[in-house]
A and B are shown apart, each in its own frame.
Chain A
Amino acid sequence: MKGPKAVVGVYTFIDDALSAIELAKTSNLDYRVYSPVPHHELEEATLPGKSPVRFLTGAGAVMGCSAGFALAIWTSLDYPLRVSAKDVVSVPGFFVIGYECTILFGGIFTLLALLHFCRLPNILRKIGYDPRFSQDKFGVVIGCQTAMVDDLVARLRQTGADEIQVREGL
């Protein structure tokens, strides 16, 4: 979120927060929204579309399936146990290994995707964050130039903010 100043609007009501988001978008300003709970209206207003997490999940699952079968088949050929004239490479028997590895790798890649896209762990300063945003308040943080602060504060007040703070931005 760019701008030397960050104007933080603290909201109790979600429709007021949506108005503030609209204001930031029409003013072409960088913004960030904090909320205690995910909400489809906030998502549609800020980042419509699908998350790219699904690509990594799919890639992990395919890799896991291949790895599971490859492990079982290669180790069977490397150490061929004679099992009553049955096939050394018995694919039905290896199905469970491939299946479990599919889920395991899919899960691990999903976790990595989550950490990457959510920028976790995050030890940096969270601009405009207020502990009330994890409780019952919504926060709309808008980055702007110093000269625009007063005008922005006045317009945010009209959207119904409970409280407006001005902090240092990026």
Chain B
Amino acid sequence: MSHHQTQHQHTECTSCEEAHPSRFRGGIVPTEAKPLTYEEVNTTVLAMLEPPTYRWWLFLALCLAAVAIGGVSWTRQILKGMTEAGKSHPDMWGGYITTFVFWVGIAHSGTLISAVLYLFRAHFRMPIYRLAEAMTVFAVLTAGLFPLIHLGRVWYFYWLMPYPNERAIWPNFRSPLLWDVFAVSTYLTISSTFFIIGLIPDIAAARDAAKTKFRKILYGITSLGWSGSHSQWKHYTAAYLFFAALATPLVVSVHSVVSWDFAMSIVPGWHATIFPPYFVAGAIFSGIAMVITIMVPLRKIFGLERILEPKHFDAMCKLILLTSGILTYSYGIEFYTAWFSNNEFERAQFWFRPFGEVGAAFWGMTFCNCIFPQLLWIKKLRTNIPFVFCVTILINIGMWLERFNIIVQSLSHEYIPYSWGWYNFSWVDIGIVIGSFGWFGMWMTLFVKFFPAVAITEIKEILPAPRRVAQGGNH
């Protein structure tokens, strides 16, 4: 009761083990009663790098099996052609582009949490940003596969790059598809670099605590000889700040450029100026949901309850509510714009989406993205971690359906009724989409076992520095 003045405060406090013994197991006491020390942060996070159990190997095997399915499907497509993927008139873009936009969207919230919230000095980001940034890098790696897969003749991918060639031609820089190449490549480069820079001091901590020769060598090389001297920290914090400032415009620009793949065309349902903010809000929405989907099991498996607290989930759920609101508004505005425009093709498209052959996809999207997340207005549900996990799974499904609605439904129902048609998923298509989830899962699984998945240094930064004479906190 030492941190309370009265018995009433002690009883009301939800952090005290004595007042609420049933809420605590294993002797873990939350941070309000007993703040973490620097040593405990190191010990807790580096314990995640201990040799894996059978569960890790099992999950990795599942991911590799999914990658193998994707590999077999892609091989079939290369041998037999793009018709194996279900692509035919009028839906020349289908599952691949839907999944590409899905993965690029997932990547955005990682940069939002690591860069944008860093600039805003939002301390709640500290325990979650490393996982979010890892998710960004691996999601962009996954997304980057799809333009290559969609090329068909993937060995000609270098034609997308501007290089002098004997054909004396250059890529068309006026095309949104080429803007996409530059945007996603830049995003991958900057995100990876930002991620690796943030990892350096933590890898140095892992190096100093490594017990096996393999890990000493691995972390010795990847830490680049970091020692944490005063001059290194000075230049490091400056460089990190500039990286955050450079990455911040990418959060807005990359998915805006992706949205222009659609908005710069004249397809009904695509040619709308709301697409850039609509896509960016949707990207952040799906990305935060995916961060929570990854965080919840890792928190349980690795015992990170003292670091990933309910207040962090509460803050992220508020972001989910905000972006869900923006998305709901965008859906409404799309319908309103179609009606107000008096353009018969636009109106027909927006009648087809909810009431056409695959209206279920539209209603599924609306339920998952607009209706169900509204339950997060209730604070008790925002801090109920199993419930939040279920919400985020539905959001991820809903966001895939949103991209499906935009891409496939629009292409299926364009101007001329004679050319209306439908997209048929093939097993190659489905196999490659499954493979992409396996690819992403494989990288995340390897990452959490070999490198610190929680930012040791940044959590220490928000703890009060140890002082012989007690003063205010570190910030």
Distance to closest chain B CB from A62 (angstroms): 13
B120-177 with Cβ < 8 A to chain A: 162, 168-174
Question: In the bound complex, how far is the Cα of B57 from the Cα of A29, in angstroms?
Answer: 54
A70-124 with Cβ < 8 A to chain B: 71-72, 75-76, 78-79, 81, 83, 86, 90, 93-94, 96-97, 99-101, 103-104, 106-108, 110-111, 113-115, 117-124
Taking a contact as CB atoms under 8 Å apart, the answer to whether B225 and A121 are in contact is yes
A25-79 with Cβ < 8 A to chain B: 32-39, 41-43, 46-47, 50-51, 53-54, 57, 61, 71-72, 75-76, 78-79
Taking a contact as CB atoms under 8 Å apart, the answer to whether A103 and B209 are in contact is no
Partner among B38, B226, B231 whose Cβ is within 8 Å of the Cβ of A136? B38
Residues in chain B near residue A132, CB distance under 8 A: 208
Distance to closest chain A CB from B381 (angstroms): 35
Residues in chain B near residue A166, CB distance under 8 A: none
Considering the complex, give the chain A residue whose CB is closest to the CB of B475.
A40
- Main secondary structure on A side of the interface with B: helix
Distance to closest chain B CB from A139 (angstroms): 9
Taking a contact as CB atoms under 8 Å apart, the answer to whether A53 and B238 are in contact is yes
Taking a contact as CB atoms under 8 Å apart, the answer to whether A118 and B232 are in contact is yes
Given known pairs A133-B227, A133-B228, the reply for A97 and B234 (CB within 8 Å) is no
B218-274 with Cβ < 8 A to chain A: 224-239, 242-243, 246-247, 249-250, 253, 257
Considering the complex, give the chain A residue whose CB is closest to the CB of B226.
A120
Taking a contact as CB atoms under 8 Å apart, the answer to whether B173 and A97 are in contact is yes
Partner among B182, B205, B465, B469 whose Cβ is within 8 Å of the Cβ of A134? B205
Question: In the bound complex, how far is the Cα of B237 from the Cα of A117, in angstroms?
Answer: 12
Question: In the bound complex, how far is the Cα of B448 from the Cα of A46, in angstroms?
Answer: 36
Question: In the bound complex, how far is the Cα of B143 from the Cα of A13, in angstroms?
Answer: 47
Partner among B38, B39, B182 whose Cβ is within 8 Å of the Cβ of A37? B38
- Main secondary structure on B side of the interface with A: helix
Distance to closest chain B CB from A100 (angstroms): 4
Taking a contact as CB atoms under 8 Å apart, the answer to whether B182 and A135 are in contact is no
Partner among B37, B190, B227, B228 whose Cβ is within 8 Å of the Cβ of A103? B190
Distance to closest chain A CB from B182 (angstroms): 4
B168-215 with Cβ < 8 A to chain A: 168-174, 178-179, 182-183, 185-186, 189-190, 193-194, 197, 200-201, 204-205, 207-209
Chain B residue total in the interface (Cβ 8 A): 63
Taking a contact as CB atoms under 8 Å apart, the answer to whether A134 and B169 are in contact is no
Considering the complex, give the chain A residue whose CB is closest to the CB of B171.
A75
Question: In the bound complex, how far is the Cα of B175 from the Cα of A94, in angstroms?
Answer: 9
Taking a contact as CB atoms under 8 Å apart, the answer to whether A57 and B242 are in contact is yes
Taking a contact as CB atoms under 8 Å apart, the answer to whether A136 and B190 are in contact is no
Residues in chain A near residue B37, CB distance under 8 A: 136
Q: Is B35 interfacial (CB-CB < 8 Å)?
A: no
Taking a contact as CB atoms under 8 Å apart, the answer to whether A54 and B238 are in contact is yes
Distance to closest chain B CB from A137 (angstroms): 9
Given known pairs A12-B466, A76-B173, A118-B231, the reply for A103 and B182 (CB within 8 Å) is no
B23-71 with Cβ < 8 A to chain A: 37-39, 42
Residues in chain B near residue A114, CB distance under 8 A: 197, 235-236, 239
Q: Is B460 interfacial (CB-CB < 8 Å)?
A: yes
Taking a contact as CB atoms under 8 Å apart, the answer to whether B461 and A38 are in contact is yes
Q: Is A3 interfacial (CB-CB < 8 Å)?
A: no
Residues in chain B near residue A75, CB distance under 8 A: 162, 170-171, 173
Question: In the bound complex, how far is the Cα of B168 from the Cα of A157, in angstroms?
Answer: 74
Interface centre among B173, B225, B465 (most CB of A within 10 A): B173
Q: Is A23 interfacial (CB-CB < 8 Å)?
A: no
Considering the complex, give the chain A residue whose CB is closest to the CB of B462.
A37
Residues in chain B near residue A100, CB distance under 8 A: 179, 182-183, 186, 253, 257
Question: In the bound complex, how far is the Cα of B176 from the Cα of A94, in angstroms?
Answer: 10
Residues in chain B near residue A51, CB distance under 8 A: 234-235, 237-239
Given known pairs A93-B174, A94-B173, the reply for A135 and B243 (CB within 8 Å) is no
Question: In the bound complex, how far is the Cα of B238 from the Cα of A57, in angstroms?
Answer: 10
Partner among A12, A39, A120 whose Cβ is within 8 Å of the Cβ of B224? A120
Q: Nearest 10 pairs between A and B by C-beta?
A: A122-B225, A131-B208, A51-B238, A136-B38, A75-B170, A114-B239, A117-B235, A121-B224, A38-B233, A93-B174
* 18 CB-based A-B contacts, threshold 8 Å: A33-B229, A34-B228, A34-B229, A37-B38, A37-B461, A38-B237, A50-B238, A71-B162, A72-B173, A100-B182, A107-B189, A110-B239, A118-B226, A122-B227, A126-B227, A132-B208, A135-B205, A160-B468
Apart from A35-B230, A118-B226, A136-B42, 19 more pairs, CB < 8 Å: A32-B231, A33-B230, A37-B38, A47-B230, A51-B238, A53-B242, A75-B170, A86-B174, A93-B174, A97-B178, A103-B249, A104-B190, A107-B247, A111-B197, A113-B235, A118-B232, A124-B225, A126-B227, A135-B205
